[in-house]
Structures are given as structure tokens and as C-alpha cells.
Amino acid sequence: MSRKVYSDAMSALNGVSDGMTLVIGGFGLCGIPENCIGALREMGVKGLTCVSNNAGVDDFGLGLLLQNRQIKKMLSSYVGENALFEKQYLSGELELEFVPQGTLAERMRAGGAGIPGFFTATGVGTKVAEGKETRTFDGREYILERGIVGDYALVKAWKGDKFGNLIYRKTARNFNPLAATAGKITVAEVEELVEIGELDPDEVHTPGVFVQRIFQGKNYQKRIEQLTVRKG
């Protein structure tokens, strides 16, 4: 039953190799699989295609893989806040496909749900629509977007059990439940790994069937990108 449990990121990522497509959870630096990203850097796999809403910052998150020139292509909705990214992209070193945020979420959801494509009004009449099939429903134009499945999906949750059931915390949920469905092999790292039966089934966000490998992460930095406070 606990065939899914691994000791750390390095062992859980066994099999990730050059040129693979990785679907990665997180929004900005919130809810990113920190341990997995660290291990990918250590492994040194190259030519990766990363599907992730953002690309981290210069020295954290996916920025760590950009520094090492391990990423060949990114599918993202927003990559501001990352000077290194901008430099590699403008010099032609890095390929980039901008995907509207809602379309990105839906492409992961569709891929994970066995739906190869769907129509959306998002992006009609813009660069995003270029080269895409269009169709009119009830008088409105829509474009065809494809579902995404990655060789691996890397997600971060708050709690998980040894079957792979996951619970996320607050806005660290974001793309994680969608990414979790969209990997041929999904690797989940959790802050707290518990025994089967310890999570309330009513509270589970990602049912364990979507998760093939799970481990308890360590040394979470949980960096804050924009610290904003009010005075008491």
C-alpha cells in the first residue's frame, strides 16, 4: 500500500530525463514544489519543457533551473519578476509559449481528465488565437485549445497520506490540483505525510489515484514575493 512513498525528492524523481515535459504547480512562489525543483537542479537534467503559471524569480523557484540553463521551453501566463528569464528569452535561448492563465488551468484539467481539446472565448482576436481552429457557438467565436499531459507532474500540498490523498492550504492550492491530474507520473511533496486513514475523506482535495509518488519535503522556505502589511 505504501509503494507510493519515497524518502526524498531525489528518489521520487527517478526517471526524469533530458527533454521531458514537466507540469508544475504553484502561483508565483506560493505552493511551488521547492524540494523537487532543488532536486532537478542537482540532477542536472536539461532541455526541459516546463508548464507552470510562472517562472519563479531570479534566485528561487524555477529561476534556479533557468540559472542552470536546464529549461528549453516554458508554457506560462506571466513571467514578469524574472530578469534572467527575460534575458534568455530575448536572446532566443529560451522558447516561450504564453498561455492565458485560465486557459492554462483548463489545459491541465482537460489533459488530466482525458479531454484532448476544448473551445474557449479567451484570446479570440489576439496573438493567442493565431494558427488555432475557431468555431462559432450561439453567435460567439471560440478557439480550440489542447489539453496538456506531462511526462511528470510535480505538485506541493500541505498534507498527504501514504495513498497520495492531498490537502492544500489556502491560496497555495492554485494550479496544484490540476497539475496533479496531468502527469503520466505525478510526484507530490507534502509538508506533513500521514498514515492512511488519518485524513478526513471530506477534506481531501486531490484523491490519491492521481498521485503515483509522494514524499515528505523538508526545509521549506516559502518565500514571499511581495510582503504587504497594514498597521495595527
Q: Does 171 bind other proteins (CB under 8 A)?
A: yes
- Please report whether residue 58 would count as binding other proteins according to CB under 8 A: no
Q: What is the SS3 assignment for 75? A: strand
CA distance 22 to 38: 14
Amino acid, res. 164: G
Region of 40 please: left (phi>0), alpha (psi -120 to 50) or beta: alpha
Q: Which stretch binds other proteins (CB under 8 A): 5-13, 37-45, 65-73, 98-106?
A: 98-106
106 binds other proteins (CB under 8 A): yes
**Smaller CB distance to other proteins: residue 16 or 29?**
29
Residue 108 contacts other proteins per CB under 8 A = yes
Among the listed residues 125, 184, 192, 198, the single contact to other proteins using CB under 8 A:
125
CA–CA distance, 163 with 207 (Å, rounded to integer): 9
Closest CA to 74 of 148, 157, 13, 156: 148
Q: Give 69 or 87: the residue with its C-beta nearer to other proteins.
A: 87
Q: Where are the beta strands (DSSP E) in 121-210?
A: 134-137, 140-146, 150-161, 166-167, 183-194
1, 114, 127, 138: which one binds other proteins (CB under 8 A) = 127
Count of alpha carbons within 13 angstroms of residue 55, beta-carbon side: 35
Q: Which of 28, 5, 3, 31 is nearest to 205 (CA)?
A: 31
Which of 21, 31, 61, 166: binder of other proteins (CB under 8 A)? Answer: 31
Choices 44-52, 131-139, 195-203, 223-231 (CB under 8 A): range interacting with other proteins: 223-231
| Residue from 21, 52, 53, 70 in contact with other proteins (CB under 8 A) | 53
List of residues contacting other proteins (CB under 8 A): 27-31, 53, 76-81, 85-86, 89-90, 96, 98, 100-106, 108-109, 120-128, 158, 168-178, 205, 222-232
